[in-house]
Chains A and B, each alone.
Chain A
Amino acid sequence: MEGEFAEMGKYIGVGLTAIGMGGAAIGVGNIAGNFLSGALRNPSAAAGQTAMLFIGIAFAEALGIFSFLVALLLMFAV
């Protein structure tokens, strides 16, 4: 394969994978916002649910980190 074109495609791909992190950002924001609106409606129940909040954030964030990982792999390992 031509080195120049391969290099170009690689960087374009890296840029595209960065979009995936935006999706994770939306997901995490959605979780935190919904938690907050629920917590404001019923503050007494909020304290018991922070663990669920963090679990949800962790799951949503993991997918963003996967896209980051793909970007890193493209950048450095391919």
Chain B
Amino acid sequence: MASDSGFEIRPMDQFEVKALFGGDIYWYTPTNVTLWMALTVLAASALMIYGARGRALVPSRAQSAAEMTYGFIYNMVRDVAGHDAVRFFPYIFTLFMFVLFANLLGLIPFAFTTTSHIAVTAVLAFTVFLTVTGLGFILNGTKFLGLFWVSSAPLALRPVLALIELISYFARPISHSIRLAGAMMAGHAVAKVFAGFASALGAAFFVPVLAVTALYALELLVAVIQAYVFTILTCVYLRDALHPSH
């Protein structure tokens, strides 16, 4: 970084994992990861339980938001993955709520974004990958391999296509996890860089401040869209496991 030009922007510092009470980090140490994940659970519960506590026939605003989230994910699972995927709805809903609230809470200034870490998103994505693959073999047996054998293509092409399909299948969890972590990391790093310009530019500070404001709005959009995309891709993979024929 430009450490010799008088100011220093360290855009990656915000992603550091720190122990809450100091000391070394072991696997059980409460860190800022723990804190913000707990807040994610609290926020999701606040919306879905505290917000919907009225159970009114004519919902309040919070209850309406909770019901819309429920209906949104429910319809997504049903439409994308099929009717028999509805039994996995709580699992997918948990994933969506976690990613959505982790992304949104990460946008609070000085917050820590748990979903910007490859380790976190990779665990999420590989959980989905392993679940879906295992499910595909359990439900369909060897017919699940038909996913890679494109029967509509000419016979000579099929081995080549099978190889490509196989590679793209195993690339799924990688792109699934890196997309989410990368999008989160990119937005936060760029915001940090712009914010650093604001302190360096002196009187013209308002230019980067305006840019950061616009960027923040974009980041809100990206946070929601990435949660949506993560969930809908999970549904798409689930559909492949349930109905490998198409």
With an 8 Å Cβ cutoff, the count of chain B residues facing the other chain is 18
**Residues in B neighbouring A57, C-beta threshold 8 A:** 229
Q: Is the CB of A66 within 8 A of B232?
A: no
Tell me the smallest distance from the CB of B121 to a CB of chain A, in Å: 11
Q: Is the CB of B229 within 8 A of A55?
A: yes
Query: Which listed segment binds B: A29-37, A38-46, A68-76?
Result: A68-76
Tell me the smallest distance from the CB of A31 to a CB of chain B, in Å: 13
Question: From B235, which residue of chain A is reached at the shortest CB distance?
Answer: A51
Question: From B229, which residue of chain A is reached at the shortest CB distance?
Answer: A58
The one of A54, A65, A69 in contact with B225, judged by C-beta atoms closer than 8 angstroms, is A54
**A61, A65, A76 pick with most chain B CB within 10 angstroms:** A65
Q: Is the CB of B175 within 8 A of A72?
A: no
* B12 at the A interface (CB under 8 A): yes
* B76 at the A interface (CB under 8 A): yes
225-241 of chain B: CB within 8 A of chain A = 225, 228-229, 232-233, 236
Q: Is the CB of A55 within 8 A of B76?
A: no
* A16 at the B interface (CB under 8 A): no
* A26 at the B interface (CB under 8 A): no
**Residues in B neighbouring A68, C-beta threshold 8 A:** 182, 186
* B104 at the A interface (CB under 8 A): no
* A62 at the B interface (CB under 8 A): yes
Q: Is the CB of A54 within 8 A of B232?
A: yes
Q: Is the CB of B179 within 8 A of A58?
A: yes
A54–B182 CA distance with the chains assembled, in angstroms: 17
**Residues in A neighbouring B8, C-beta threshold 8 A:** none
**B79, B182, B225, B228 pick with most chain A CB within 10 angstroms:** B182
* B100 at the A interface (CB under 8 A): no
How large, as a class, is the contact surface on chain A?
A: 10 to 19
Tell me the smallest distance from the CB of B142 to a CB of chain A, in Å: 28
A72–B12 CA distance with the chains assembled, in angstroms: 10
- One digit per residue, 1 when the CB lies within 8 angstroms of any chain B CB and 0 when it does not, for chain A 10-37 equals 0000000000000000000000000000
Q: Is the CB of A62 within 8 A of B178?
A: yes
A20–B233 CA distance with the chains assembled, in angstroms: 23
A72–B232 CA distance with the chains assembled, in angstroms: 27
Given that A72-B185, A76-B12 are contacting pairs, would A55 and B233 also be in contact in the complex, using a CB cutoff of 8 Å?
Answer: yes
**Residues in A neighbouring B178, C-beta threshold 8 A:** 62, 65-66, 69
Pairs of residues from A and B, 5 with the lowest C-beta to C-beta distance, nearest first: A65-B182, A58-B229, A62-B179, A62-B175, A69-B182
29 contacts between A and B (CB under 8 A): A51-B76, A51-B79, A51-B80, A51-B232, A54-B225, A54-B228, A54-B232, A55-B229, A55-B232, A55-B236, A58-B179, A58-B229, A58-B233, A61-B179, A61-B183, A62-B175, A62-B178, A62-B179, A62-B182, A65-B178, A65-B179, A65-B182, A65-B186, A66-B178, A68-B182, A69-B178, A69-B182, A72-B185, A72-B189
- A58-B179, A72-B189 provided; 8 other pairs, C-beta below 8 A? A51-B80, A55-B232, A62-B179, A62-B182, A65-B179, A65-B182, A66-B182, A68-B186
